[in-house]
Each structure stands twice: as structure tokens, then as C-alpha cells.
Amino acid sequence: MPHTIVVLDFGSQYTQVIARRIREANVYSKVLPFNTAISEINKINPAGIILSGGPASVHTKGAPKPKKEIFNLGIPILGICYGLQLMASMLGGEVKKSQLREYGRGKLTILKKGLLLKNLPKQLTVWNSHGDCLVSLPKGFQALAKTENSSYASIENSDKKFYGIQFHPEVEHSEKGVEIIRNFLFTVCKCKADWGMDDFTISAVNEIKQKVGGKKVILGLSGGVDSSVAAALIHRAIGNQLTCIFVDNGLLRLNEREQVKELFKQHIPGKLKVVLAGNLFLSKLKGVTDPEKKRKIIGKTFIEVFDAEVRKLGKVDYLAQGTLYPDVIESVPIEGNPASLIKSHHNVGGLPKKMKLALLEPLRELFKDEVRNLGRSLGLSEYVLMRHPFPGPGLGVRVIGALTSKNLRVLREADSIFIDELNSSGWYHKLWQAFCVFLPVKSVGVMGDERTYENVISLRAVTSSDAMTADWAQLPDKLLRKVSNRIINEVKGANRVVYDISSKPPSTIEWE
Ligand code: XMP
């Protein structure tokens, strides 16, 4: 059993970021509800406990609290933000509403290093997000650091190995935050860095086996990173009890269905059902131009098709999904607004509710880059793991205006040329996303001696770290020229190519 750190969750949006930082240090961590029974904690025999932050105030009636016996276990404890306030108030300190809420960047001055702040510079920029403040220390505690508005920004009880930090070391804006967490893990708790993705695979496989037993599981495979990794992991656990369903909605990229089938054969040798539903989707979308209406129709039709397919399988108990740590994106919060981490998950839309199946979501604690690493440890190819994101409604939101087979064909062919050229010039992996958009605008051209009157294709290529903000990519002229020439010469139905030079915000990455 590796050394385990238990993270008790008091509801902070950063709890999973703490767990991620611990995993990055190659230490095993387990996130548990704040009121987990002592007997459960003892079973794990943790090397240390972290009390996460949370939105409550210790003064609120019914504020979440851990069992008070955790302070008698003889195990090191680190309280972060609300966790610090909670530990201090439960042990006899006093917490008050601050005069000034500390929110965003702050200056931390280290007074005494102790074990927690070992090897750190005297001053650090840290990320705060709190309204309450510790004003008197519990017995046995000392201040390690202060900020402008708080005399006890970090505290320790060196005898008991209890530590507290008022700021958030887990977010990237906290300078040396990772060092503080590592000091807790390795210096205070004496953990060994002996845990890795292969260990995650082993324990996830065991958990899936235990949960599913002999029952049947279905999974909607899109061919993207998340659903492919989830499929590979679940298949490793339960083999042919898993059936994957791939719906060709007629809004896929060139040869995509064949590629997904091939991928499946190579890497996830299990049961795959491919449903050809392009005509159904296109007939429901006929004449629809409003983007939100298109999305709704595509989502609803997907559920109908998927549901009908599942019914054919007889009794199924679990719906597996490649949901990642659901709302949090793998990147830094934007200054002054940690809520900017939150993004609605486009892909979940209504499926589980309608189907009344239990959910199996083995990736839900992981971040995108961790899922890629997991995929590598499961042997999936870089092609799948590093592919750009592709929206659920597919080309449905990349053909602007009404969807017809002709418009879709023009878009598919143009898009494939663009991606081809990005790959051969080495640009594909420097971009967050790149694709073509079909514009329902016709313009005049000449080809040979003939006048043409055809549609316009826009190229979109952006750099981004999380899709919350994005910049248009400065692709070399030579590359743009080649892509434009090839599209106009090779794709019947397009006679003009433009390059989209809009950033997000105020524009979005997709056009619809
Ligand atoms: P926007 O266009 O809002 O896109 O800047 C941000 C990211 O989300 C993807 N996206 C979607 N993904 N269903 C999805 O599964 C959707 O309806 C959808 N709309 C946008 C987009 O490709 C980009 O990565």
C-alpha cells in the first residue's frame, strides 16, 4: 500500500486541484467527504490529512466540520483556507470576519520557515480567496507567515505536526505553492514518491470490477480522447461486458467513422456497435439555421438513436462516460476570478437522466493531461491522445446556416486539406484547435476562362491553454497560401478562402 494522503473535501472548487498536485508529486491521494468516519480514515492509514478550502464560514450554522477525533490520530494535518480556519477554531483559536476580504493576489511575508515553508524565499506572491480571518492562535501554535491583512497567513503546531495556510498553494498563481505542498508531503508526512499512472490504472481497474460485478456496461464512443481512454480502461477491467456504441450522425469529418473503427480494432478490442444515422439527423436538421436549435436537435436525436440501440442489447445496468473532473478546466484561473475555471460540460446533456442507468465515470477525478497520460499507460496512440477537441454537434456547427449534404461535403474536403497541411508543416500540435468553417455566402471567381459563383471557406486556427480564452494563430504566409490554393483547386464548390483573425473573447472559437 503506497503512502496515502487523505484530502477531506469541504466543498472548495479547488479540492481536485489539491489532489492533482499530490498526484503530480507521485503520491497517492484520496478525496473523501469532510465528515468521513474516523474508522474509514483509519482503514486507509494515511500518512497525512489535508483539510480543503470551502465556501462556508466557520460561524455559519451547520458549517461543515470534520469529526473532531481527527486531531487525536497523531497524523500530520494541513488546513488550507477554510481548512485552516476550521482547524484553528476547533482547537481553540478565534476566527473573525475580516475587515477587508482578501481576494486575488497577495504578498506573503515568511516569519519562520518551520518544516512547511522550508527552502522558500522570504516573500512570495500568493493567491487568496477568503472573507474570514484567524485573529488569535490556538494553544501550541505559532505564526509562520503573514499577509497585509492577516497576521496568521500560515501557522504551525510543530509538536503535533498541524499546519495551516490561509491562501491556496494549489493554484498556479501561488508562487512556490507546489513547494509548500511538497514540503507537507515529503518533509512533514515523510511520504515516498512511489505512485504513478500505472498504479492509477491498477486501482481504477479494481474499482470498476468491484462496482460492475457481472453486469453490462455501455459507452458512447466518439473517438475523442476522453471516451477512448474511458473505453480502454473499462475494457481492461471487464472485457466484453462493455459494449461501445458509435453513432455516425452524418456530421463527422472525412473518413472519421473508418478511423474510429480502426482505432477500436487496434487498441480496444471489444464490442463496438456502429450506428449509421446520418440520414435521420440530416432530415431532422433540414432547413434549420439557428445554431442553438441545431444543437438541441442534434443532442435530442443522439439520445433517441443511442437509447434505441441500447434497448436492443437487453438488460444493461451502467452507462459509462468519459467525464473528466467535471467542471474544472486544466488551466490557471484568470486573475481576480477563480470562477472562470468553471465551464459547463457540453457533452453530458441529458443522456443519463433519460436512460435511468447508473453512471460509471472512471475519469471524473482526472484532468485532461492526466487522461492523456493514462491513455499512454493503456497503450493508446498519440494520434488519438493528441487530437484537437471536436465539438459534440460536429460539423453541424461548422456549416453556417442550413445543413445539406453538399455543404457538408465541401466542408469535409476543405477541412481535411487544412489538417493535412498543418500536420505536414508541423503546426498541428502547436495549435489548440484548427478547422474549416463553411460560410453560406457565395462569391464570384474565375477559373480558367469561366466565371464561378461558389461558397467561401474560412480557416480557423487558435492557440489556447483551456478554450476559455484563445488567440488566432499567426500561421506562416506560405502555409496559408498553400492551403488556400489546394482548397480552391481541389474542392468543388469552394472558390474563396479567408482566414479568421478574431480572438476569444470577444469572438468564440467555433462560429456557431
Ligand atoms: P467556443 O466556441 O465556445 O468553444 O469558444 C470552446 C470549446 O468548446 C468546444 N465546443 C463544444 N463542444 N459541444 C461540445 O462538445 C458543443 O456544443 C460545443 N461548442 C463548442 C469548442 O470546439 C472549443 O473547444
CA of 397 relative to ligand 1 center, distance in Å:
9
357-379 residue pLDDT tens: 899 999 988 888 899 999 999 99
Instruction: List where CATH 3.40.50.620 sits in the chain.
Output: 197-385
Ligand 1 atom nearest to CA at 389: 24
> Choosing from 3, 130, 168, 173, which is the catalytic residue?
168
Cα-based angle 332, 16, 11 (whole degrees, multiple of 5): 105
User: Is the pLDDT score of 490 beyond 90?
Assistant: yes
Q: What is the largest CA-CA distance in the chain?
A: 91
Strands 48-51 and 4-9: parallel
| pLDDT band of 412, cuts 50, 70, 90 | very high
Q: Please confirm, yes or no, whether 168 is among the known catalytic residues.
A: yes
CATH classification number, 404-499, choose in 3.30.200.190, 3.30.300.10, 1.10.3720.10, 3.40.50.300: 3.30.300.10
Ligand 1 atom nearest to CA at 390: 22
Residue with grid cell 467525464, as numbered in its chain: 323
Of all residues in the chain, what percent carry a pLDDT higher than 90?
79
H or E element that contains 163: strand 162-165
Strands 94-110 and 123-136: antiparallel
Peptide bond before 506: cis, by omega within 30 degrees of 0? yes
pLDDT of residue 43: 94
109 lines ligand 1 (CB under 6 A): no
pLDDT of residue 172: 81
C-alpha distances in Å from residue 363, one per residue of 138, 228, 351, 370: 40, 11, 18, 9
pLDDT of residue 353: 62
CA of 298 relative to ligand 1 center, distance in Å:
14
pLDDT of residue 346: 43
Peptide bond before 2: cis, by omega within 30 degrees of 0? no
User: Is the pLDDT score of 341 beyond 70?
Assistant: no
* 366 or 426, greater pLDDT: 426
pLDDT of residue 332: 31
Alpha-carbon span 59 to 57, nearest angstrom = 5
Grid cell locating 375: 491513455
CA of 508 relative to ligand 1 center, distance in Å:
9
DSSP track, 46-75: -SEEEE---S--TTSTT-----GGGGGS--
Ligand 1 atom nearest to CA at 347: 15
- Taking CA atoms only, the protein residue closest to ligand 1 atom 10 is 391
Of the listed ranges 28-32, 154-158, 266-270, 344-348, the least confidently predicted one is 344-348
User: How confident is the model over 286-295, as a mean pLDDT?
Assistant: 96
- Taking CA atoms only, the protein residue closest to ligand 1 atom 3 is 508
pLDDT of residue 129: 79
CA of 224 relative to ligand 1 center, distance in Å:
13
* Order of strands across the sheet that contains 94-110: 28-33, 4-9, 48-51, 77-80, 162-165, 150-157, 142-147, 94-110, 123-136
Q: Are the C-beta atoms of 10 and 49 separated by less than 8 Å?
A: no
CA of 347 relative to ligand 1 center, distance in Å:
10
Calculate the average pLDDT of the chain. Answer: 91
Instruction: List where CATH 3.30.300.10 sits in the chain.
Output: 404-499
> Choosing from 81, 189, 191, 436, which is the catalytic residue?
81
Q: Please confirm, yes or no, whether 133 is among the known catalytic residues.
A: no
Q: Please confirm, yes or no, whether 267 is among the known catalytic residues.
A: no
- Taking CA atoms only, the protein residue closest to ligand 1 atom 4 is 509
295 lines ligand 1 (CB under 6 A): yes
Ligand 1 atom nearest to CA at 510: 2
299 lines ligand 1 (CB under 6 A): no
391 lines ligand 1 (CB under 6 A): yes
User: Is the pLDDT score of 100 beyond 80?
Assistant: no
- Taking CA atoms only, the protein residue closest to ligand 1 atom 19 is 391
> Choosing from 170, 256, 309, 454, which is the catalytic residue?
170
| pLDDT band of 343, cuts 50, 70, 90 | very low
Instruction: List where CATH 3.40.50.880 sits in the chain.
Output: 4-188
CATH classification number, 4-188, choose in 3.40.50.2300, 3.30.420.40, 3.40.50.880, 1.20.120.80: 3.40.50.880
H or E element that contains 33: strand 28-33
DSSP track, 93-154: -EEEEEEEEEEEEEEEEES--TTTTTT--SEEEEEEEEEEEEEEPPTT-EEEEEETTEEEEE
Alpha-carbon span 298 to 396, nearest angstrom = 8
372-404 residue pLDDT tens: 999 999 999 999 999 999 999 999 999 999 999
| pLDDT band of 176, cuts 50, 70, 90 | very high
504 lines ligand 1 (CB under 6 A): yes
CA of 451 relative to ligand 1 center, distance in Å:
37
- Report the Cα 294 to chain-centroid distance in Å: 25
357 lines ligand 1 (CB under 6 A): no
User: How confident is the model over 157-171, as a mean pLDDT?
Assistant: 95
Alpha-carbon span 302 to 452, nearest angstrom = 38
User: How confident is the model over 430-438, as a mean pLDDT?
Assistant: 97
**Residue whose CB lies within 8 A of the most ligand 1 atoms, among 249, 387, 509, for a mutation test:** 509
Grid cell locating 317: 445496468
Please provide the distance, in angstroms rounded to a whole number, between the alpha carbons at the two ends of the chain. Answer: 50
41-52 residue pLDDT tens: 999 999 999 999
C-alpha distances in Å from residue 212, one per residue of 231, 273, 313: 14, 21, 17
**CATH number of the structural domain 197-385:** 3.40.50.620
pLDDT of residue 486: 98
Q: Are the C-beta atoms of 455 and 493 separated by less than 8 Å?
A: yes
291 lines ligand 1 (CB under 6 A): no
SS3 155: strand
393 lines ligand 1 (CB under 6 A): yes
- The alpha carbon dihedral of 41, 321, 200, 15 has a sign of negative
pLDDT of residue 350: 52
User: How confident is the model over 287-292, as a mean pLDDT?
Assistant: 96
**Residue whose CB lies within 8 A of the most ligand 1 atoms, among 293, 340, 346, 472, for a mutation test:** 346
pLDDT of residue 352: 56
178-187 residue pLDDT tens: 999 999 999 9
pLDDT of residue 351: 59
SS3 291: helix
pLDDT of residue 42: 96
Grid cell locating 304: 433517441
User: Is the pLDDT score of 300 beyond 50?
Assistant: yes
Give bridge partners of residue 102 from the DSSP assignment.
Answer: 130
189-209 residue pLDDT tens: 999 999 999 999 999 999 999
CA of 391 relative to ligand 1 center, distance in Å:
5
pLDDT of residue 325: 74
Ligand 1 atom nearest to CA at 295: 17
